Amino acid sequence: MKINRYCLYYIILLLICLVGVVLPARALDLQEGEEAAKVTLSKTQEAAIVDHCATMKESLKTVQKSDARARVYLGGRYETILNKYITPLNVRLVENSLSTTSLIESQNTLASSKAKFANDYVDYQQKLEELVAVDCKNNPTEFYEKLDGVRQKRKKVEQDVQKMRRVLAEYVDSVGKVKEKLNAKTK
C-alpha cells in the first residue's frame, strides 16, 4: 500500500493530536547540547501510542524514504545551481571587471547554507533512525521524546531550505540589477 506524503503528514499530525502533550515552553527554545525536559504521558496518551505503534512505525519509515529522496533531489539541485550557473556567471563578471560584490556574497552564503543543510539533514536522519529503532509498544514515553527531537531537527532542515531559497531569490534580484546596469551602458 503506497501512502502519499500528505496522507503521511496527516497521520503524523493525527498522532500528535492523539497524544496531545504540550511540551513546556522551555523545550522549544533548547540550546545546542541541552536535553529536553522529561515528558510524562497520561495512561490514555501511552495507550494511543501503543495502539498505533505499527502504523506510526510504517509512517515514519515512509517519511524516512521520501525525505531521503527529497534531500538528494534538493542537494543535487542546489549543487547544480551553484556550480553550473552561479559560480561561472560570477567568474565571468569578475573577469570582465564588473562589480559583483552582492553576487559573490550570495554565492558564499548559498555555499555555506548548502553545507549547513547537509549537516543538519544528517543530524535529522540520525534522530529519525533512533526514533524508528525505539520499541514504541514497550517505551511510549521514550518514543514520544525522540519524536519531539526529530521534529526539532526537521524544523532546522526546513529553515535551511527556506534560507537557500531566500538567498537564490536575492541572487536573482542582484543579477537583474547587473543586467539593467549593463543594458544602460550599451544604450
Q: Decide if 3 is inside a domain.
A: no
pTM more than 0.75: no
State how far the Cα of 12 lies from the Cα of 27, in Å rounded to an integer: 20
Q: How far is CA 147 from CA 39, 68, 102, 136, in A?
A: 12, 18, 40, 11
Question: What are the pLDDT digits (tens) for 20-79?
Answer: 333 332 233 333 444 445 678 888 988 999 999 999 999 999 999 999 999 999 889 999
pLDDT band per the 50, 70, 90 thresholds, residue 96: confident
State how far the Cα of 102 lies from the Cα of 167, in Å rounded to an integer: 11
Question: What are the pLDDT digits (tens) for 125-153?
Answer: 999 999 999 999 999 999 999 999 999 99
pLDDT at 22: 30
Q: Decide if 141 is inside a domain.
A: yes
> Is pLDDT of 16 > 60?
no
C-alpha cell belonging to residue 155: 524544523
Q: In total, how many domains does the chain have?
A: 1
Q: Decide if 63 is inside a domain.
A: yes
Domain that holds residue 87: 42-186
> Is pLDDT of 80 > 90?
yes
Q: Decide if 33 is inside a domain.
A: no
Q: What is the average per-residue pLDDT within 82-110?
A: 89
Question: What are the pLDDT digits (tens) for 152-185?
Answer: 999 999 999 999 999 999 999 989 988 888 888 8
Q: Decide if 97 is inside a domain.
A: yes
pLDDT at 31: 38
Q: Decide if 108 is inside a domain.
A: yes
> Which residues lie below 8 Å from residue 146, measured CB to CB, with a gap of 6+?
127, 130, 131, 134
pLDDT at 37: 54
pLDDT band per the 50, 70, 90 thresholds, residue 4: very low
Q: Decide if 22 is inside a domain.
A: no
